[in-house]
Homo-oligomer: A and B are copies of this chain.
């Protein structure tokens, strides 16, 4: 307990509750000094934030914040399941930013031991975020002599970014729109909130594919819409089951890669959906969260191509680049633009101006295209790796679907029901995953199906995860 004693004495001696410096700063500085000064040598195990906070009667939040900062800066290392350690500081404190490594070059992290392998969907591999290129774009914006970069952004977004997004959509999604039809938002959730408010003044009520990611009904309801679920199956939204007399102004659908089922809506259903929407004067809200990563079959066009006059297309940079940017967009039918501008002004939608300008450069200079191409190859390999790992463990007792696109697939296990007992076994074996039925609005229909996100997992983690699934479900 020598290091712990070190730490106690250090804080006990120097922690001041009065004076100019906050506890956070004091704790941060003192830990840094002791680490750089060698009093806390590499490998020293620190007490948990809980122990430390209790020990010194300070808010645990403060300790957590300081630990996170020191971990982030590389002073400390978290070892899964065994606590926080002082890092062996070989490199200088500020190593130069490495340019984003090629996928091949990623050092595969050693598989978790105590820590859980998480198949929870939704995150790309942020470890491969091209930090150097993004920072260079931020720097370019920083050089702007135009002070407006630091002022409020136009409510519908930066003209430069909207122009680049329009060009990007033409290149990658075959969407033909003007920058004026694009509204920049803080990701898909903000885009959906915006659309919900825009459309509720027109006609409230939403038909929503079921299953669906939880924030969709939540945000639509929060904005005042009633939700009517419409079942989705292995091919996506079951168009025949749309109500004959819809009490709604919109249909929410994810045709490129239904979440969570993973289906790509086939053309006959797309045509039927558009026809239905036209007959009932509905607008279609198309959530296109990860179609950039198409692993099998021909690329699929956006619904915008079929019905530009009634599709609101939601896109995001969270999956194809990084969630931390909080950047997404809506492509609107031209006729909705005036109302959309009004709603954007009412909601004060303005998104961080300099982030928008940096993204405009990031796209314009070709970095986004190159990053997507690199990640596409990487994610495809990971999808294949997970598929074969599951087949190796479960043979024909598992059926894989929804793997043609994106960052997750669906694994349906024969003669398995994911009830509380099964879930307890998953947890006990250190593997985390959502079931498809976790996303059910109405009756759960997929008792044996897991939605497995693999985009953020390195190959060894994927193998280890499959091993633990097998152990938990009783296949090894």
Interface residues of A (CB under 8 A from B): 20, 22-25, 28, 59, 61-62, 64-66, 68-69, 71-74, 94-95, 97, 122-123, 126-127, 129, 131-132, 134-135, 138-140, 142-153, 159-160, 162-164, 166-167, 170-171, 178-180, 186-187, 189-190, 193, 197, 215, 218-219, 222, 224, 318, 322-326, 346-348, 350-355, 357, 360, 364
Contacts and interface: CB of A to CB of B under 8 A. Distances in A.
23 contacts: A22-B163, A22-B170, A25-B167, A59-B179, A61-B162, A61-B180, A68-B146, A72-B144, A72-B146, A94-B140, A126-B149, A126-B150, A126-B151, A134-B142, A135-B142, A149-B324, A151-B322, A151-B324, A189-B347, A218-B346, A224-B224, A324-B354, A326-B350
B126 A148 contact: yes
Most chain B beta carbons < 10 A, residue from A25, A28, A71: A25
A61 B322 CA distance: 27
A159 B347 contact: no
B65 A159 contact: yes
Contacts of A134: 142
A138 B97 CA distance: 12
B167 A22 contact: yes
B25 A364 contact: yes
Interface class of chain A by DSSP: helix
Q: How many copies does the complex hold?
A: 2
B222 A197 contact: yes
A389 to B, nearest CB: 23
Nearest to A352: B326
Contacts of A148: 72, 126
Nearest to A318: B152
A352 B325 contact: yes
Nearest to A27: B163
A149 B72 contact: yes
A453 to B, nearest CB: 13
Nearest to A94: B143
